[in-house]
């Protein structure tokens, strides 16, 4: 590896790294932090209110939005493995909503799916325990029937960090980078097209993209780093449709985690693809000179139907600037060569296999019906799913309630086991994953995470019992 020193090879030998560790400094980029009613206990109790607000999302212009606790994005929720979480939610919106805790392994009644709407003026308390082994970066967003794209586009989304009390990485400065995009009219109002227009047709086809990209609540922010320093970037793709192909000028990145937390082995990459709903954890090493700058860019990525590509799809977009301080370089630190053990789910344990076919607006030839169960699985069963994309554009596939391990993509085996809840299917691509339906019975959604497609009915119901 060109810039990375991978040190300790055994997780058990890392106790010296985590013993007596200081909490990391964390940069939230405009996200407030949820206040725990009883800090210090193993119970985290917080309040979230979804309501209309009038905020300045663009400099000098105000927008009518939907907001959690008055902010877009909503406040950052930080918890630790093993915590019991109590979230009191009040819906002051003019329409029904839910909160889906994307990626978390929690009971069906707490999932925030369309089965459990919170009506206008109503309240609901989500209560669940954060499982051991689930440390990672997650997010929350509404999941009402046929209204997810609109409510997320209006501002309802936020980040979650689940911490490991024995995190194998040394304490590092952290940046929580929630990526979203939006479209605005000249008066600052959020632009949703009129039904039947050409723009509305393209949004239905591709999913709605905006021409303004946000990092948290900021546009083109500048991050500071010292030469030689290593930072931990937690990145969430909260966009309704945009896929980000990220690269940092002149830098390699150490990919250390995905949807379900840290990998077993870090991987050095030059770029990273982040589909809707996915998260990544990256380590960024300051290999530039004091006083220099580098730009994180979204490189061109063709996720579109050929007849619906935007004119500017092949133009790179600047996301943020990394500015080096004038301070002298610091000594580089070693990064563990093994972060944690991830045992592969044995293929021999699979009770059954099933095939899921993704078509435009449909799954297995059907559109969503809340009164129909599409797939059934036994509680405790292990299954292999083969998901195949039959159309000429990307479809990110998300399974509620259970994390899985991707076995292969287009027949090419995954290099190492990792925990995922979302996997991108490029045009005419396929992926196989293995999943164990443990702990929680219920009706679980699986769907395309292009939110317009989800709302059109590209979603199905899995009943686990």
- Spatial distance between the Cα atoms of 197 and 128, rounded to a whole number of angstroms: 43
The domain ranges of the chain are: 11-163, 173-324, 347-464
> What pLDDT tens digit does each residue of the chain (465 aa) get?
445 555 543 333 333 334 445 556 899 999 999 999 988 779 999 999 999 999 999 999 999 999 999 999 999 999 999 999 999 999 999 999 999 999 999 999 999 999 999 999 999 999 999 999 999 999 999 999 999 999 999 999 999 999 999 999 999 999 999 999 999 999 999 999 999 999 999 999 999 999 999 999 999 999 999 999 999 999 999 999 999 999 999 999 999 999 999 999 999 999 999 999 999 999 999 999 999 999 999 999 999 998 889 988 999 999 999 999 999 999 989 999 999 999 999 999 999 999 999 999 999 999 999 999 999 999 999 999 999 999 999 999 999 999 999 999 999 999 999 999 999 999 999 999 999 999 999 999 999 999 999 999 999 999 999
- Domain formed by 11-163, architecture: Sandwich (2.60)
Q: Could you write out the three-class secondary structure of 338-364?
A: CCCCCCCCCHHHCCEEEEEEEECCEEC
Q: Count Cβ atoms below 10 Å from residue 310 Cβ, excluding itself.
A: 12
Please give the model's pTM, rounded to 2 decimal places: 0.95
- CATH class, range 347-464: mainly beta
Return the SS3 of 205. Answer: helix
- Domain formed by 173-324, architecture: Sandwich (2.60)
Per DSSP (E only), the strands in 270-411 are 272-274, 279-285, 293-299, 317-324, 352-359, 362-363, 375-377, 382-389, 395-399, 404-409
* Intrachain domains 11-163 and 173-324 with the same fold: yes
């Amino acid at each position: 590896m060109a810039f990375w020193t991978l040190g300790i090879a055994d997780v058990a030998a890392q106790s010296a790294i985590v013993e007596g560790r200081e909490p990391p400094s964390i940069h939230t980029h405009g996200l407030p932090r949820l206040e725990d009613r009883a800090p210090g206990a193993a119970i985290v109790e917080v309040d979230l209110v979804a309501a209309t607000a009038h905020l300045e999302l663009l400099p000098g212009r105000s927008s009518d939005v939907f907001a959690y606790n008055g902010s877009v994005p909503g406040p950052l929720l930080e918890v630790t493995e093993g915590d019991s979480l109590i979230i009191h939610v009040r819906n002051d919106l003019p329409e029904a909503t839910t909160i889906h805790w994307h990626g978390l392994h929690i009971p069906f009644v707490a999932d925030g799916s369309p089965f459990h709407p919170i009506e206008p003026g109503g309240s609901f308390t989500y209560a669940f325990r954060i499982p051991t082994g689930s440390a990672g970066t997650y997010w929350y967003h509404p999941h009402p029937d046929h209204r997810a794209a609109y409510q997320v586009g209006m501002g309802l989304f936020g980040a979650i960090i689940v911490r490991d009390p024995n995190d194998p990485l040394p304490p590092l400065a952290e940046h929580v980078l929630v990526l979203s995009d939006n479209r605005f009219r000249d008066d600052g109002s959020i632009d949703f097209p009129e039904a039947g227009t050409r723009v509305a047709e393209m949004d239905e086809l591709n999913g709605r993209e905006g021409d303004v990209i946000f990092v948290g609540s900021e546009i083109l922010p500048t991050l500071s780093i010292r030469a030689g320093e290593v930072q931990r970037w937690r990145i969430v793709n909260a966009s309704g449709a945009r896929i980000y192909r990220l690269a940092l000028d002149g830098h390699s990145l150490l990919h250390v985690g995905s949807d379900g937390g840290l990998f077993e082995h870090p991987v050095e990459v030059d770029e990273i693809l982040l589909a809707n709903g996915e998260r990544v954890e990256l380590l960024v090493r300051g290999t530039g000179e004091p006083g220099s700058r580098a730009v994180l860019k979204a490189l061109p990525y063709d996720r579109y139907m050929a007849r619906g590509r935007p004119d500017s799809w092949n133009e790179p977009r600047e996301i943020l600037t990394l500015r080096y301080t004038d301070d002298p370089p610091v000594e580089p630190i070693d990064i563990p060569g093994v972060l944690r053990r991830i045992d592969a789910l044995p293929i021999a344990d699979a009770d059954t296999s099933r095939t899921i076919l993704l078509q435009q607006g449909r799954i297995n030839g059907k559109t969503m019906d809340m009164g129909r169960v599409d797939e059934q699985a036994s509680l405790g069963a292990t299954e292999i799913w083969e998901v195949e994309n039959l159309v000429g554009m990307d479809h990110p596939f998300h399974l509620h309630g259970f994390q899985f391990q991707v076995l292969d993509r287009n027949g090419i085996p995954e290099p190492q086991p990792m925990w995922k809840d979302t996997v991108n299917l490029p045009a005419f691509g396929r992926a196989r994953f293995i999943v164990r339906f443990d702990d929680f019975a219920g009706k679980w959604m699986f769907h395309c995470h292009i939110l317009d497609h989800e709302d059109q009915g590209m979603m199905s119901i899995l009943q686990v019992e």
